[in-house]
A = this chain, B = another copy of it.
Amino acid sequence: MAMRKVVLTEDEMPRQWYNILADIKMNPPLGPDGKPVSPDMLAPVFPMNLIEQEVSSERWITIPDAVMDVYRIWRPSPLVRAVDLEKALDTPARIYFKNEGVSPPGSHKPNTAVPQAYYNKVFGIKRITTETGAGQWGSALSFACSQFGLECKVYMVKISFEQKPYRKTMMGVWGGKCVPSPSNETKAGRDVLAQNPDSPGSLGIAISEAVEAAVSDTSGQTRYSLGSVLNHVMLHQTVIGLEAKNQLAKIGEYPDIVIGCAGGGSNFAGTAFPFVLDKLNGRQIEIYPVEPAACPSLTQGPFVYDHGDNAGYTPLLPMHSLGHNFVPAPIHAGGLRYHGMAPTVSQLVNEGVIEAKAVNQLEAYEAGIIFARSEGHIPAPETTHAIAQVVKEARRAKEEGKEKVILFNWSGHGCLDLAAYEKYLAGELSNPVFTAEEKAKAAEAFANFPKPQLLKSR
């Protein structure tokens, strides 16, 4: 019997996160005046201890004991050899995945929600606001806040709120309050409703509401939290890749290929950055962020300065972007429907250290079904994008007759996404494409912004 899972004890967990800012050169975020944003300018939005992490260039940052305590509810996560997937694909490749679906909300998101809640708590904050699209992030932050006795308020895009009522309930079980956005609770929400009472909402509107709710609390006890894109979010997620490295080392393996799906970039970054470090130091390794063909920020969007939100409230970030007003096709992998990409991930693509891939919706679900019928676990729609690329690489390994070692991040389970599988199985899903017209139109959003420099880290 071949081994499936590589076990780590809680004592063997990483005690530090890896900060890639120590190893790559980055363009700074810019304020409305075109000048670099100072930490103080972010203070009304985030607690200063997280802002310090956002700009830190320390390579290793210690994980606080209180965060370790909560991580251990589900971490270390299993590293699994996908023996049955290998059989199903008849490949000489050895395929390993990190199962991040074992966390209480069912995804990798609490890896950063927990430390963000902790740092807010330590800073004296009582209440955190955020937005959520499909609901994974709002669930994770509600869970994390319940662990530290913080209030959590989630503005959920109204159409998702109505389509996915279970996500709101999940937040409620952990004591989080979830309201559909646009809401009457903020000026931003009321303005939208005044113009269009039936607005389905958008991530841009929900971000505006959450930020407004945080900065307008005159007690100073409320802050805002973001679940991807930012440097400190990528930092916290590196616990995935660091664990994976330890687990692979235990069995004498090292990956030839590392794969993760990418929306804002955090689960990919968390898995890949510890291996990027090795690559920057000369190791041969292929590293692929995988995005949906319908929202191809890395493979079709240029490297520019653009806003992180639709409304233009955030600083200008140096990233691959489709334009901050771009509205992606309604694919069911809601977590991958983001116009931009984390600046760190964008920088690495731009330098050629990692290579972005795009897959279609139908090939993603097809791979998801292959996975569920071999390895058992049902992946989230986002995760199926990573699996689709794994399937391609495993077949390539077979063609080449090579025993490649593939590592990918199984970022979450699909138990709350079965409605999307139902549509796939019923043949009701299609392959939305990103057209040349869309590309040209979307690019108008950043046409007049400053351009980032082309930096080379090594």
The chain A residues found within 8 Å of chain B, CB to CB, are 1, 3-5, 7-10, 65, 68-70, 72-74, 84, 102-104, 106, 143, 146-147, 165-166, 169-170, 172-175, 369, 372-373, 375-378, 413, 415-416, 418-419, 421-422, 425
When distances are taken between beta carbons in the complex, the residues of chain B under 8 Å from A9 are 7
Distance A74 CA – B102 CA, assembled complex (angstroms) = 11
Which residues of chain B have C-beta atoms less than 8 A from A372's C-beta? 104, 146, 173-174
The answer to whether A421 touches B172, judged by C-beta atoms less than 8 angstroms apart, is yes
Given contacts A169-B425, A172-B422, A172-B425, whether A146 and B373 have CB atoms under 8 Å apart is yes
- Nearest CB to that of A8 among chain B residues? B7
Which residues of chain B come closer than 8 Å to A4, judged between CB atoms?
10, 72-73
In the assembled complex, the CB of A243 is this many whole angstroms from the nearest CB of chain B, namely 13
A1 to chain B minimum Cβ distance, whole angstroms, is 6
Contact status B425-A173, CB under 8 Å: yes
CB closest chain-B residue, reference A12:
B7
Q: B419 contacts A169, CB within 8 Å? A: yes
A106 to B239, CA, bound (A): 25
CA A173 – CA B369 in complex, angstroms?
6
Q: Which chain B residues border A3 with CB–CB below 8 Å?
A: 10
The main secondary structure of chain A at its interface with chain B is: helix
Give bound CA distance, A69 to B5, whole Å. 11
- Which residues of B lie under 8 Å from residue A170 when comparing CB positions? 378, 415, 418
Q: How many copies does the complex hold?
A: 2
Known contacts A166-B419, A173-B369; A376 and B73 CB within 8 A of each other:
yes
Query: In chain B, what residue has the closest Cβ to A416?
Result: B415
Of B70, B106, B174, which contacts A415 at CB under 8 A?
B106
CA distance A116 to B104 in the complex (A): 30
Contacts of A5 in B (CB 8 A): 10, 72
Which one, B103, B174, B413, contacts A373 given CB within 8 A?
Answer: B174
A376 contact from B104, B378, B422, Cβ within 8 A: B104
- Kindly list chain B residues whose C-beta atoms are within 8 Å of the C-beta of A103: 376
> A1: which of B1, B69, B173 is its contact (CB, 8 Å)?
B69
* Minimum Cβ distance to chain B for residue A283 (Å): 29
Q: What separation, in Å, do the CA atoms of A325 and B457 have in the docked complex?
A: 74
Complex interface: chain B residues within 8 A of A376 (CB): 70, 73-74, 103-104, 143, 146-147
Given the complex, which residues of B lie within 8 Å of A419, measured CB to CB? 165-166, 169
Once the chains are docked, how many angstroms separate the CA of A3 from the CA of B413?
26
Residues of B within 8 A of A375 (CB): 73
Q: CA–CA, A106 to B406, complex, Å?
A: 27
State the Cβ distance, A27 to closest chain B Cβ, in Å.
38
> In whole angstroms, how far apart are the Cα atoms of A418 and B416 in the complex?
10
B-chain residues with CB within 8 Å of residue A165 when the two chains form the complex: 419, 422
A72 to B377, CA, bound (A): 12
C-alpha gap A5/B376 in the complex (Å): 23
Q: How far is the CA of A422 from the CA of B413 in the complex (A)?
A: 21
| CA–CA, A413 and B105, complex, Å | 11
A355 to B70: give the CA distance in the assembly, Å.
35
Given A73-B377, A170-B418, 10 more A-B residue pairs with CB atoms under 8 Å apart are A3-B10, A7-B7, A7-B8, A7-B9, A73-B375, A74-B376, A169-B419, A172-B421, A173-B418, A415-B416
Roughly how many angstroms separate A369 CA and B172 CA in the complex, as a whole number? 10
Say how far A169's CB is from chain B's closest CB, in angstroms.
Answer: 4
**What's the least CB distance linking A32 to chain B, in Å?**
40
User: Once the chains are docked, how many angstroms separate the CA of A65 from the CA of B418?
Assistant: 32
Q: Are A104 and B377 in contact (CB under 8 A)?
A: yes
User: In the bound complex, how far is the Cα of B415 from the Cα of A68, in angstroms?
Assistant: 25
Closest B residue to A65 using CB positions: B1
A74 to B175: give the CA distance in the assembly, Å.
30
Q: Please, how many angstroms separate the alpha-carbon atoms of A102 and B77 in the complex?
A: 11
5 A–B contacts from the bound complex (CB under 8 Å): A1-B72, A5-B72, A84-B147, A104-B378, A172-B422
Distance from A79 Cβ to chain B, minimum over Cβ atoms (Å): 12
Q: In whole angstroms, what is the CA distance A146 to B88 when docked?
A: 12
Q: A1-B65, A4-B73, A173-B425 are contacts. A418–B166 as well, Cβ < 8 Å? A: yes
Report the separation of the CA atoms of residues A3 and B73 in the bound assembly, to the nearest whole angstrom.
Answer: 10
